[in-house]
Amino acid sequence: MHRTIFTTPVVNSLLRGFSIAFLKLRGWTLDGQLPAAHPKCVLIAAPHTSNWDLPYTLMVAFALRLNVYWMGKQQIFRWPFGPVMRWLGGISVNREQSSNLVAASAAALVAADGAVQLIVPPEGTRSKTRYWKTGFYWIAHTAQVPIVMAYMDYERKLSGLGPIFVPSGDIEADMVKIKAFYAQFKGKNASQFDHQ
């Protein structure tokens, strides 16, 4: 995994303080923490309905002392923003090209030194969509790491880390449980989030 803002010592400390102060001033409450037993995991990023999700997610990650990488569409990695997005923990994804992203992501998680959390938005887009993509599930299953159900509720100004979920391999049964957890949360553009 490449060097990020989360692994840059002085910057990390400064941005952690800024993030905690900013979120507190904006009235946000943070909940949960990553258990020490699971330093490597896949974080579900839901609901994902706005461009504001990225800066808030990064601030929550700083506040909770996470070392995150996140997946984003390749368009936001074009010059001149690409190097900055990668430094922020971004990994470019070409959604139109069939590739072995699951296997590559799982291998990177397994090979990474130390704590690494990979953020994957299951909707795959900020637009309204009825069906969740299952890449996050198969990355965790392949890497044999748990899924942490991270959330951001704009209505209640509540964000954090929910329960840990270990994929059983029965994706249909597991997705019912995962989506049931997310039914309680409202994204910034709540009408665009469908937990069904």
Number of domains in the chain: 1
Residue 126: predicted pLDDT: 46
Q: Is 14 or 104 the better-scoring residue by pLDDT?
A: 14
Residue 104's pLDDT band, with cuts at 50, 70 and 90, is confident
Instruction: Note the pLDDT of residue 42.
Output: 96
- Domain membership of residue 171 (yes or no) is yes
Q: State yes or no: pLDDT of 50 exceeds 60.
A: yes
Does pLDDT of 2 surpass 90?
no
Q: Confirm whether 194 is domain-assigned.
A: no
Percent of the chain residues past pLDDT 90, beyond the cut:
54
Domain assignment present for 192: no
* pLDDT for 142 beyond 60: yes
| Res. 125: pLDDT tops 90 | no
pLDDT score of 173 = 96
Whether pLDDT at 117 is above 50: yes
Sheet holding 147-153, edge to edge: 29-31, 158-165, 147-153, 40-46, 116-120, 68-73, 90-93
Q: Which residues contact 120 (CB under 8 A, 6 or more apart)?
A: 42, 43, 44, 45, 70, 71, 135, 136, 139
Q: Is residue 118 part of a domain?
A: yes
Domain-embedded: residue 18: yes
| pLDDT recorded at residue 11 | 94
Per-residue pLDDT of 70-93, as tens digits, reads 877 788 888 898 999 999 988 887
Give 116 or 46, the one with higher predicted confidence. Answer: 116
Q: Per mean pLDDT, which of 16-20, 51-55, 92-96 is the most reliable?
A: 16-20
Q: What's the pLDDT score for residue 132? A: 83
Q: Which residue has the higher pLDDT, 126 or 150?
A: 150
Q: Which domain holds residue 179?
A: 5-187
Average predicted confidence (pLDDT) for the chain: 87
160 part of a folded domain: yes
Question: Does residue 33 lie within any of the structural domains?
Answer: yes
